[in-house]
Amino acid sequence: MDDNVAMRVVFSPALLCVIAAWVILGFATYFRPRPPQAREVRRGRGWAWGGALHTLSIAILWGPRPEAPGLLLSVVAILLAAVSVAVMLACQRALGRQFAFQARLVEGHRLIVAGPYRYVRHPIYTALFGLALATGLAVSRWPAIPIFAVLYVAGTVIRVRAEERLLRAEFGAEFEDYARRVPAFIPLPFHWCKL
């Protein structure tokens, strides 16, 4: 890779916007308003393996790209990153004190069905997929994207199953009705994708 190509990759608008999206999400998550913490009453099992696969899948995307993305890929990456961050922040607001990085139930836990949860049961995973895909479009070689997708979906299946075991045990028929109406990961009109 010659120096001119390296400079275009480092300073491409898509790459800068994707990095900014990750930074904004990190700061917004770390410095979010924190309601009084509720006491944890139950924690799911097996979810950490899904988190490890998510981390690995996203790390794979941060490889060097032989050239800067074209205009169309840049626009798609920037829009996808912006929408993904907006959805993740809306999820954090909707969850409030129930927001956590692990599968758990807290005292007074409620089944959240508002905000992004009206469209998919696990919108954080959908949005994180979008932000990671935007990263792949901005900085990766193409062969990394399908590898990312397979690992990410496998991690999502593991995490969704762990979380939904807890929700089924806690909310029973209320959760079953919600699960029948709302897809797990891919919003309508792709309702066929149930996990």
**DSSP label of 195:** -
Q: CA geometry: angle at 153 spanning 147 and 155, to 5°?
A: 100
pLDDT tens, residue by residue, 2-37: 455 444 445 688 888 999 999 999 999 888 776 566
Tell me the pTM.
0.86
User: Residue 40 and residue 128: Cα distance in Å, rounded?
Assistant: 25
Phi and psi for 27 in degrees, rounded to 5?
A: -65, -45
Given a contact cutoff of 8 angstroms between Cβ atoms, the answer to whether 14 and 137 are in contact is yes
Structural domains of the chain ordered from first start: 3-181 (1.20.120.1630)
Provide CB contacts within 8 A for 39, sequence distance 6+: 106, 107
pLDDT tens, residue by residue, 160-191: 999 999 999 999 999 999 999 999 988 876 54
